[in-house]
Amino acid sequence: VPQTVYKILANEKYIGITKYNDEVYDNIYPPIIDKALFDSIQQKLSVNKTGKRSVNITFLLRNKVVCGYCGRHLQGDSSTARNGKLRFYYKCAGRKKHKDCNLRVIRQQELDDFVSQVTYEVFCTDENITLIANKVLEVQAQRNKSDSVLQMLHKRLYDTDKALTNVMSAIEQGIITKTTKERLAALENEKEDIETKIAVEETRRQRTFNKEEIERFLRTEFKDDPQLYLQHILDKVVVYDNKIEIFYKYTNTVPDDSNNERRGYFSSQCEIKINKAKRSMQELDITIDQTIHFEVLYVINRRHKLRFNLEKTPTTPHGAD
């Protein structure tokens, strides 16, 4: 299927669904195609695109894992065991593509499970859930009082419409070049994106959430969709042969010797066995940030940017390089 036709066939707006920032809205556009027909088409497209023998595997830390030696990202990789079973790994791009890095591969399931566990234990305590919920209510109240977001979006829409008018005027005068065509396509895409954001913002304002709803959501969100949660709250995971560092998004300066605000600090309680083979069993020190301010995107069918204070006294850093 040609790419343009594929995009049309896969566009969920035809069944009344709009996605924005990983949120799904089903009440913004009226459906013009029967959902059963749409689902049937998607199934056929999936078979044609990936083939019947393809394996669907989710790497929770996609685009988040970085090599501590060469600085490149670790990519998903797989190999086939002697019994024919597929095994999945994170493998440094420096080793996979450039052949200039010797970082060992790490099993995908083990690293995903470990980072998920640490993140859950740091953020999903009763104390922190209550703290986050209170901040969400605060942000929600501030947002509902302010029209600044909608005003900004409408201003962008006005500017985009004005630019579109200018491009169309040039085309009507016979100025038809590759540049004008590309500019027209870019502006049309930008206008569609802005209109979607306006619709989403207006939908957000139609209801608010109480503290009980927010806390209930936070208690289940991580287990229901750990990939979404980790993509929002993780800055990066840095992997070495003898340690793993987990960096969350935060805004304070971490109190360690380097005074580097993008660095967490060591927690001796966190360990992971990176290789189950008895001869190469190795314990890794884990660096995690347990301190004060984080910037996090929170989801309850709506998305807010907020800052919250964990109010947790950090342990003394140890083992830092």
Condensed to tens digits (0 to 9), the pLDDT of residues 218-240 reads 788 777 778 877 877 778 888 88
Give the per-residue pLDDT at 15. Answer: 74
pLDDT-derived band at 187, boundaries 50, 70, 90: very high
Q: Mean of the pLDDT values across residues 13-28?
A: 62
By CB atoms closer than 10 A (0-12, 13-18, 19+), residue 294 is buried
Nearest to 184 by CA among 171, 160, 167: 167
Higher pLDDT among residues 318 and 108, named by residue: 108
CA-based Rg of the chain, rounded to a whole angstrom?
24
In sequence order, the 6+-apart residues with CB closer than 8 A to the CB of 129 are: 215, 218, 219
**Poorest-confidence range of 3-12, 65-74, 240-249?**
3-12
Q: Mean of the pLDDT values across residues 54-66?
A: 82
Phi, psi of 64 (to 5 degrees): -110, -20
Domain boundaries, the chain: 3-50, 145-204
Q: Mean of the pLDDT values across residues 144-167?
A: 86
Place of tokens 């579109």: 164
User: Would you say the pTM of this structure is higher than 0.85?
Assistant: no
